[in-house]
Amino acid sequence: MAIRRISDIFGGRRHLLFSGLLLVLLFVFLLDLLVIDHIFGPFVYFYLFFTLLIIFYGIYPLYVNRRLTRYYWERTKRHRLAVIGLSFIIFLVAVAILGPFLTQDPTEVDFPNKNLPPVGFSAEQAIYDRNTGNFITTETPGTWHHPLGTDDKGRDMLAMLVSGTRISLQVGLMATLIAIFIGLIMGVVSAYLGGWADNALMRFTDIMMTFPFFLLLVFIVFIFGPSLWFIILAIGLTGWTGTARLVRSEALSLRTRDFIMASKSLGASDRRIVFRHLIPNVLSSVIVIATLSIPGVILAEAALSFIGLGDPTVTSWGLVLHAGQRSLDTAWWIAVEPGIMLFLTVLAFNFLGDGIRDAFDPRSQV
């Protein structure tokens, strides 16, 4: 009963309600940006947008079609690695949201406590002795005050990793969202219009695909400068080509299928066919490709920060790695820890993506 009531209020006007809330959000954002002068950063608005998107087009449909949800969950669950991946991603999200309130300031420099090893390890350090004027080598053990140790400026590793989690997830989600959005539009438009428009869009896709992804990214960052927002935008604006091709080929094969033919012969408008039949039917492959492209995006940002082309004002995993490479012989943990986080995150998204792909593809046997 409860489902019926919610879907009555919500159902038919879902898109309208979503667009309305989006407009309100955009209005508040512009007001904040132009008039009140930045009460919240742009990221807060993105989170609100993302939450709305998830509720309207993720949680709500899953809740209404509970039978289908259970079916997908059963199929995904059989993939044990996918469940492990999903749990780790949920853990990361929790760390990204709550972590910064529980850890120290990741930018706080504390030179007397530099190069402290993680708890349970100890490291040799040369310390300058004021009385004798000599360097004396001492064995420094890790302390619980800095459970994962500190870097060469005495910054807390745990706090830096938590901050890096936040940055990586932000970059991964946002850039992928932008790329998927562009790819979806390009693919559907190209398949649906056909003719010269299809030709022009696909030739443009070919040109973009000819650029080596990372070289193009480096080139763009070189020209426009390294701010986190710009890097996200650059990854999003260059990473859509695969999605566009996939969506186009799927939409082309859908266009000649019976149910769309039937809908057309019943007099459905182009708009209805695109939004009601085409997009919902390509969405499952889009979700799979989105999940599988998040790790690539996270790695691209980390690689940029690692070679020193990332945003120098945010503490990302790549930036910590960059610092760690310089002190490999004195403090190995600075390079090891962010790399492990990066590795596990990428692994988790790959596991999850594989599981979702198998769950959405009825032909595959798990």
Partner 1 sequence: MKRGGLQNYIIRRLIYAFLIAFGVVTITFILLRIGPSSPADKYLANISARTQNPARVIEAVEARYGLDKPVIQQYFDYLVNLARGDWGWSFSTSLPVIELIRRHWIYSFQLILLSMLFASSLGILIGIYSAVKQYTRTDYIATFFSFIGISIPNFWLGIMLILVFSVQLGWFKTYYDTGLPMFSLANLKALILPVITLGTGMMAGYTRYARSSTLDNLRKDFVKTARAKGLPERVVIGKHVFRNAILPIITIIMFDLAGVVFGGAYLTEIIFGIPGLGRVSFNAIFANDYPVVITITLIGAMVVLLTNLTTDIVYTWLDPRIRYD
Comparing CB distances to partner 1, the nearer of 154 and 226 is 226
- The distance of Cα 133 from the centroid of its chain, to the nearest Å, equals 51
- What is the phi/psi pair of residue 231, to 5°? -65, -40
Residue 83: CB atoms within 10 Å: 16
Residue 82 burial (10 A CB sphere; 0-12, 13-18, 19+): buried
C-beta of 332: minimal distance to partner 1 in Å?
Answer: 6
Comparing CB distances to partner 1, the nearer of 277 and 358 is 358
C-beta of 133: minimal distance to partner 1 in Å?
Answer: 29
C-beta of 306: minimal distance to partner 1 in Å?
Answer: 6
C-beta of 348: minimal distance to partner 1 in Å?
Answer: 9
C-beta of 256: minimal distance to partner 1 in Å?
Answer: 20
Residue 95: CB atoms within 10 Å: 18
Residue 88: CB atoms within 10 Å: 17
Comparing CB distances to partner 1, the nearer of 121 and 224 is 224
Comparing CB distances to partner 1, the nearer of 286 and 298 is 298
Question: What percent of the residues of the chain are helix, what percent strand, and what percent coil, each to the nearest 5?
Answer: 75, 5, 25
β-partners of residue 128 are 135
C-beta of 308: minimal distance to partner 1 in Å?
Answer: 8
**Interface ranges with partner 1 (CB under 8 A):** 81, 203-204, 206-216, 218-220, 222-225, 295, 299-300, 302-303, 306-309, 321, 324-325, 328-329, 332, 335-336, 339, 342-343, 346-347, 350-351
Segment holding 19, helix H or strand E? helix 14-31
C-beta of 325: minimal distance to partner 1 in Å?
Answer: 6
Comparing CB distances to partner 1, the nearer of 43 and 214 is 214
Reference 157, options 214, 105, 210; nearest CA is 105
C-beta of 60: minimal distance to partner 1 in Å?
Answer: 32
C-beta of 225: minimal distance to partner 1 in Å?
Answer: 7
Question: Long-range CB contacts (< 8 A, 24+ apart) of 347-351?
Answer: 347/85, 348/84, 348/85, 348/86, 348/88, 348/89, 348/92, 349/85, 349/89, 349/172, 349/291, 349/292, 349/294, 349/295, 349/298, 350/85, 350/292, 350/295, 351/79, 351/81, 351/82, 351/84, 351/85
For 230, 339, 366, the CA distances from 299, given in Å and listed in that order, are 16, 11, 28
Comparing CB distances to partner 1, the nearer of 42 and 212 is 212
DSSP 292-341: HHHHHHHHHHHHHHHTT-S-TTS--HHHHHHHHHHTTTT-THHHHHHHHH
